[in-house]
Structure 1
Amino acid sequence: MSEARQRLGRAAEALVADSLERRGMRIVARNARTSAVRGEIDLIALDGRALVFVEVKALRAGSVSGPERPAIAVGHRKRQRLRLLALAWLRDHDGSLPPHGALRFDVVGLRLDPGGRAIEWEHLREAC
């Protein structure tokens, strides 16, 4: 992944984390990795008693490649990987987790202007 794409992704993840916190969610982890499954979970948050695993997908405004809606870019395989990563992360952190009830998998798609501001935002709850 290019450095520019990494910067775009990190900026989008920060915007989403800030927004989720303003909505009352508590961020538990960012860019979480596991010992058993390769990859990372962009954000893990508590929403009430639900532990939420969040995949963030960002595109630049005016981008000619990619889907019309950024959230659609998170296809079946990526969602499947997110579930595997979440299970591995739960095993790795079994004793250190805050109390939680349900698990939820959300996808947030953003389109960012050249200044890094979100001009399109789509939050798909229970997307996986």
Structure 2
Amino acid sequence: MNQRMVGSCFEEKAAAYLQAEGLCVLQKNYRCRIGEIDLVAKDGDTLVFVEVKYRSGGLYGSPEEAVNQAKQKKIRRVAQFYLIQQGTPPDTCCRFDVIAIGGDGTIVHFQNAFGGI
């Protein structure tokens, strides 16, 4: 299984987890010329941009540690593009979550993992 297939598999697991938690998944793998957001969901009135990270072991750190400042900046820029492209009202509440999946399949959901737009 290649990296893209592995990533897709864990993104599907993350989407199922979010749905079980009551969120509505609006889009998977949103892509634009700037980059990609793994999942876009709705939690009540809040639009949620979700980064999914998987690590099979701890050799390279925990999954959530991979969402560093540079990655956060890129996700924010893609989210801004998404909001404009979708014609989202400027007063829409947004947040950025991280779903970390460990090698044992454990899912940890970090709500509001980093600052907004």
TM-score (norm 2): 0.87
Query: Which of structure 1's runs of 4+ aligned residues deviate more than 2 A?
Result: none
- Larger gyration radius, structure 1 or structure 2: 1
Q: Percent identity?
A: 33
Alignment-mate amino acid for residue 83 of structure 1: R
What's the CA shift for 1:64? 5.7
RMSD: 1.9
Q: Paired residue for 1:107?
A: 98
Where do 1:1-128 residues align within 5 Å? 4-34=2-32, 37-60=33-56, 63=57, 65-67=59-61, 69-94=62-87, 101-113=92-104, 118=105, 120-128=106-114
Number of residue equivalences: 113
Deviations 1:87-114 (A, max 9, x none): 00111111xx59x84100001110134x
- Cα pair 2:34 2:77 within 8 Å, conserved: no
Letter in 2 for 1:57: K
Which amino acid is 1:76 matched to? Q
Distance 2:73 2:58 in 1: 27
Unaligned 5+ runs, structure 2: none
Deviations 1:17-55 (A, max 9, x none): 001011111011110012xx4211000000011000000
Q: Tell me the alpha carbon deviations over residues 68-92 of structure 1, each in whole angstroms, 9 at most, x when there is no partner.
A: x211111010011101000001111
**What CA distance in whole angstroms lies between the structure 2 residues aligned with 1:87 and 1:27?**
18
1: distance between equivalents of 2:4 and 2:76? 22
